[in-house]
Amino acid sequence: MCGIAGLIHRGNTSKVGFELQGMLQALKHRGEDSTGYALYGKTDGQNFIMRFKVGENVGEGSTSIMEDVSVYDERKKIVDGYLKDLGATIVKEERTLPYSLRYEIQYDKDLMEFSQKIESVPGVEILSMGKSLEVIKDLGNAEAVCKRYSLDKVEGTHAIGHARMATESGVDIKSAHPFWGYPFSDVSVVHNGQLTNYWNNRRVLENKGMRFMSECDSELIAVYLAEKMRNGATLEEGMKESLMGLDGVFTYFVATKDSLGMAKDTMAAKPLVLYESDDLVAMGSEEIAIRSILPQEIDTYDPFDGMVKVWQI
């Protein structure tokens, strides 16, 4: 089933980590195999923030194979070596969990080459690479993930998130949303639905040099949009093309460093409730997600079939 939520503060910042946690926790009945956050924080915009994993969470419910923690250290060492080779400087390093790391990096060369090199290490995946975006995803419900990574203090302008009920692929971090719009920094996607032409699209996109890290159909949206943007399309143009290019049922959100967008398939088969005001846009699979941050009586509506909307901060 899955639940998605997103919000954008227009013209100001707020504790988006805390707000998104409330929205996703209200949707936990739609799935709590894993929860993911894409937070667009208040940064100086100078350095890249790379969130990456060197292994999987093998806790209760995970479909991943148990690994010794020492493997994580080995992988981290290789990544550090590769960063040096690529000419990247680690400004700040945080190891939130044995398998999850956050690096602040100075780097000014090609992102695709960078990503390919780092992800050539088995078990290593870059969850996000952006100057304001940070993707945090792990097993468990929104509250558990928020607590594990101390996300409630994160301040920013906008955020999207996903509460996942695993159906098409495993219960693991690599299949959890949001997906990074590789190789574009600061682009992330969450999706509710099923895509039925996943493999056809994947084969075509892989032949064009795009990379897939999981077998989750939702990753296709991020890759599809990234490929469109690589060819010069704007985010909104790419999203409009996706209505015909992607087959199946879907409602998805996409965020960039300064915008938030939504798209709904032409059958309007997946739910979405939307609240818009001059200074805040909030949306989610169910109204209770919005109510968690706006308990007062407000006007909301269901976007119609085939609708694409993009808001700027």
Partner 1 sequence: MANLKTGEKKTKAQSMGLHTEVLTGKTQQKFFNPDEAENFYYFGTYDVDFNKRTEIDVKDMECREANKKIDELMKEGYGTIVIKNPQGKHSLGVGILNKLNLIFEGSLGYFGVGSMDGPIVRINGRVGWSCAENMMAGKVVIEKNAGSCFGAAIRGGDLICKGSVGARTGIDQKGGTIIIGGDAGAFTGFMMQRGRIIILGDVGINLGDSMYDGTIFVGGKIGSFGSDAVEAELTDSDQDWLKRKLKVAEIGENFDVSKMTKVVAGKKLWNYDALEPTEKKGAI
Query: Would you count residue 295 as binding partner 1 (CB under 8 A)?
Result: yes
Q: Which of 1, 2, 133, 247 is catalytic?
A: 2
Give yes or no for residue 269 binding partner 1 (CB under 8 A): yes
Q: Minimum distance between the CB of residue 271 and partner 1, rounded to whole angstroms?
A: 6
Query: How many Cβ atoms from other residues are within 10 Å of residue 217's Cβ?
Result: 24
Report the distance separating Cα 56 and Cα 72, nearest Å.
Answer: 10
Measured from the CB atom, the residue of 7 and 118 that comes closer to partner 1 is 7
The maximal CA–CA distance of the chain, rounded, in angstroms, is: 56
| Contact pattern for partner 1 over residues 220 through 259, marking x by CB under 8 A | ----------------------------------------
Neighbours of 232 (CB within 10 A): 8
Residue 41 CB, nearest distance to partner 1 (Å)?
Answer: 28
Considering the rule CB under 8 A, would residue 299 count as an interface residue with partner 1?
yes
CB of 302 to partner 1, least distance (A): 4
288 binds partner 1 (CB under 8 A): yes
Q: Choose among 42, 82, 4, 10: nearest CA to 262.
A: 4
Which residue is it, tokens 């075509």? 204
CA distance linking residue 22 with residue 49, whole number of Å: 25
Contact (CB, 8 A) for 188 and 180: yes
Q: Are strands 259-264 and 156-164 parallel, antiparallel or unpaired?
A: unpaired
Catalytic (active site) residue 216: no
Among 271, 280, 281, 283, binds partner 1 (CB under 8 A): 271
Active site residue ranges: 2
- Interaction site with partner 1 (CB under 8 A): 266-269, 271, 273, 286-288, 290-291, 295, 297, 299-302, 304-306
